[in-house]
Amino acid sequence: MITPKATPSGNVELAFDQKRPAETAQKIERSPLAVRGLTVSYGQKPAVFSVDATFEPEAMTAIIGPNGAGKSTLLKASLGVIPRLSGDVTVFGQPIELAREKIAYVPQRASVDWDFPTTVIDVVLMGLYRSVGLLGRIKGVHRARALDCLERVGMADFSSRQIGQLSGGQQQRVFLARALAQEAELYLLDEPFAGVDAATERAIINVLKGLKERRKAVVAVHHDLATVQAYFDHVFLINVRKIAEGPVADAFTADSLHATYGGRLATAHIDQLNIADSGV
């Protein structure tokens, strides 16, 4: 963890935690996903170590870090998809176990078995399982809602296609439609722009910005540093430990990027991003 002195603005919350616990508690109550002391390990070495994160409501946050930094692990362990060694996770101040339905999760496309024989509309209908009920019958109203979600991502014409017959970008849109069907408060997406063309990226970002306008929160693992400032309001930088968290203008700095990526990110690349220098 870089010290508050090295990156004063990127460590807003660290200083906050120590000095103003009441305000921190209020932030956690308002947060669609707050994590305290999260440690996850697949073997001897932790993949995520002692991480605190307080994601912002009604905002778009990018989770940024190099390959293997623990970004996906942070999302999956927060959701309970993989076990935590330690850590508390709350959703609007409630234990996540009581509020899981407030979160829609779009996994990494590469982690999904696309050969599974199912149609596009059936995938989106899975997002409606709470309103349908586990053994309930799918009715016209559910199909109409699923089609509406497909329409929002530009995939309504593909509703009866097998998912294995879609391109990567189309598959990504369908998974986004499934998340929309859940009508969640927080949308967690793992690399939503990976391997998609420019038109699909635009379509996805427009949908995500639309969610923010409807006062939902969006948190996405994101690799393209060049689009962070255009797409996101907040950033969370991680490399096994939390490096920095805060508004893009404060926490997305040359210093915090160097601390996150180390020698893997050339200074020339950071210069091209045209970001504020923290002046330290």
Ligand X SMILES: Nc1ncnc2c1ncn2[C@@H]1O[C@H](COP(=O)(O)OP(=O)(O)OP(=O)(O)O)[C@@H](O)[C@H]1O
Is residue 38 classed as helix, strand or coil in its secondary structure? Answer: strand
Q: How far apart are CA 95 and CA 80, in angstroms?
A: 11
Angle between helices 21-30 and 12-19 (to 10 degrees): 120
Alpha helices in 127-167 (DSSP H): 129-132, 140-152
When binding is defined by CB under 6 A, the residue of 3, 67, 160, 274 that contacts ligand X is 67
Q: Pick out residues in 21-40 that bind ligand X (CB under 6 A).
A: none
In the bound state with ligand X, the residue whose beta carbon lies nearer, of 7 and 73, is 73
Can residue 73 be called a binding residue for ligand X (CB under 6 A)?
Answer: yes
Half-sphere exposure for 85 (CA within 13 Å, toward CB): 15
Q: Smallest gap, in angstroms, from Cβ of residue 193 to ligand X?
A: 13
Stretch that binds ligand X, among 69-77, 86-94, 128-136, 209-217 (CB under 6 A): 69-77
Closest by CA to 56, choosing from 22, 27, 25, 19, is 27
Q: Smallest gap, in angstroms, from Cβ of residue 143 to ligand X?
A: 35
- Record the tokens describing residue 115, joined without a space: 């050969």
Can residue 68 be called a binding residue for ligand X (CB under 6 A)?
Answer: yes
Q: Which residues contact 102 (CB under 8 A, 6 or more apart)?
A: 32, 91, 92, 184, 185, 186
Q: Smallest gap, in angstroms, from Cβ of residue 189 to ligand X?
A: 12
Can residue 42 be called a binding residue for ligand X (CB under 6 A)?
Answer: yes
Q: Smallest gap, in angstroms, from Cβ of residue 50 to ligand X?
A: 15
Strands across the sheet containing 33-41: 46-55, 33-41, 86-91, 94-95
Q: Smallest gap, in angstroms, from Cβ of residue 108 to ligand X?
A: 7
Q: How far apart are CA 138 and CA 255, in angstroms?
A: 52
Stretch that binds ligand X, among 23-31, 64-72, 198-206, 256-264 (CB under 6 A): 64-72
Q: How far apart are CA 174 and CA 114, in angstroms?
A: 12
Q: Smallest gap, in angstroms, from Cβ of residue 163 to ligand X?
A: 22
Q: Pick out residues in 97-156 that bind ligand X (CB under 6 A).
A: none
What b/e sequence results for 17-43 when a residue is b if at least 16 CB atoms lie within 10 Å of its CB, and e otherwise?
Answer: beeeeeebeebbeebbbbbbebbbeee
When binding is defined by CB under 6 A, the residue of 71, 142, 145, 222 that contacts ligand X is 71
Residue 79 parent element (H or E): helix 71-79
Angle between helices 198-213 and 168-181 (to 10 degrees): 10
Q: How far apart are CA 233 and CA 59, in angstroms?
A: 6
Can residue 216 be called a binding residue for ligand X (CB under 6 A)?
Answer: no
Q: Binding-site residue total for ligand X (CB under 6 A)?
A: 10
Q: Smallest gap, in angstroms, from Cβ of residue 221 to ligand X?
A: 6
Q: Smallest gap, in angstroms, from Cβ of residue 33 to ligand X?
A: 16
Stretch that binds ligand X, among 18-26, 62-70, 132-140, 197-205 (CB under 6 A): 62-70
Can residue 3 be called a binding residue for ligand X (CB under 6 A)?
Answer: no
When binding is defined by CB under 6 A, the residue of 32, 65, 87, 192 that contacts ligand X is 65
When binding is defined by CB under 6 A, the residue of 72, 171, 182, 256 that contacts ligand X is 72
DSSP state of 162: B
Site of interaction with ligand X (CB under 6 A): 42, 47, 65, 67-73
